Amino acid sequence: MASISPQLLGLKKSFGYGDRLGLATRGHLEVNNKYDFAPIFAQQSIREMSRTGRTPADVMKAAVDALKAANYQGAWGADADHLKTENDVAPTSTAGFTFYTIDPSEFVNDQADAQPFGTLMAAVEELYSEGVFTTLDWDDRFLGEKFAAGGTVYRFDRETLYRAAGKYARALAHCEKMAAAIASANGYGGYEIEISVDETASPTSPLEHLFIALELKRRGIRIVSLAPRFIGEFEKGIDYRGDLEEFETTLKQHVAIAERYGPYKISVHSGSDKFSIYPILGRVCGNLLHVKTAGTSYLEALRTVFRVNPGLFREILEYCGERFAEDRRSYHISTTDEEIREALKKSGSGSERLFFEERPVRQLLHVTFGSVLSEGRNAAGRPFREALLETLEKHSAEHRQALEAHFDRHLGALSQG
């Protein structure tokens, strides 16, 4: 009998498949069966749900229906992604989600790295006066202590300690509130927590990661994975941009800290299409790895539409060009308005490579998904959402094949490690 309820996946290496349209799970399943990653088939953030007009129940139903149809019998997870407020918890719990990603990025102080130390100290004392934390005993717990992980001995001095505290203390206090809400909503059992600090301006240093790990333990927050902000650039829809050797060096430090002071998995967000670092991730992380993808499955849906209904694709593309300047604001991407204008000039005779392999149009299609699915209409007034779903359902085999080929590249490269 098919496993129709999501389960806890623990410390087995895992892969999250985002599905913005509710039609991708069958394709995800086809490729996942070839590899030994624990899958998360239901995964969507509250922000994405609002942009796509879906509910937590819709996301869960789409995954369950596809798994039932395939008579899937393995374990799988369901990720309530990037939860920012306590009010986000109850709807996802009611829908049956088992994996909760807390996103406290709004409470991270990105200026802490560069603030004058006196200014930073005043800010930390202000947090104490606000009740964000109830004791200033960090000196006793951290200064003069040695913390070993992976052959490296870490030490805090007063400045590095208070910069870490000034940067993350308010975020960790928020995580404690969120963890309590998750526990309450789930009857204090049957859930896993991930914490994500990846959507911040500055990287999470290994020493800052250590501070986070120790503070989470002190606050009694047990996590299954942590998504730090890595060095380099993790832009949406394209490969990693940065020094691979430096990335591997710091990744080893992050993994060693996660193993020694958890254990928990290292989670890679904006993990779609980061092919150059996949072998490094697989080799260094082993089982302590979670990779999260989302928009890349939507792009494979559009790739399918390009192949089987090019007229619809070009209408969507033109609309995306009109929306780019506004929709790009909530994303960290390098594509410029001028690059989009130049790319669209070629769109009349554009190849599949132009639209789906080259950065400008790929990022254009990625960041405008919400507008396309919630507001966009063709020349006859029909919502793009309806036309997209109709096309993909009519050509479901082609859609599954596109997804399988695309994620074979992902999981195959991760498995090379």
Active site residue 81: yes
| Residue located via tokens 């202590």 | 145
Active-site choice (19, 79, 81, 327): 81
Going by C-alpha positions, the residue among 168, 169, 223 that lies closest to residue 198 is 168
| Residue located via tokens 């967000």 | 269
Strands (E), 234-392: 265-268, 289-293
Calculate the alpha carbon distances from 294 to 221, 262, 337, 375 in Å.
Answer: 26, 27, 24, 20
Give the separation between CA 172 and CA 138, rounded to whole angstroms.
14
Q: Write out 106-166 in H/E/C secondary structure.
A: HHCCCCCCCCCHHHHHHHHHHHHHCCCCCCCCHHHHHECCCEEECCEEECECHHHHHHHHH
Rounded to 10 deg, the angle between the 337-345 and 310-327 helix axes is: 160
Task: Output the six-digit token pair for 230.
Answer: 């890595």
Going by C-alpha positions, the residue among 175, 157, 251, 244 that lies closest to residue 206 is 251
Active-site choice (48, 79, 194, 208): 194
Active site residue 233: no
* Residue 76 CB burial class (10 angstroms; 0-12, 13-18, ≥19): buried
Give the separation between CA 46 and CA 373, rounded to whole angstroms.
15
In DSSP terms, 45 is beta-bridged to: 81
Going by C-alpha positions, the residue among 165, 147, 164, 167 that lies closest to residue 155 is 147
* Residue 91 CB burial class (10 angstroms; 0-12, 13-18, ≥19): middle
Task: Output the six-digit token pair for 413.
Answer: 């490269």
Catalytic residue numbers, as ranges: 81, 194
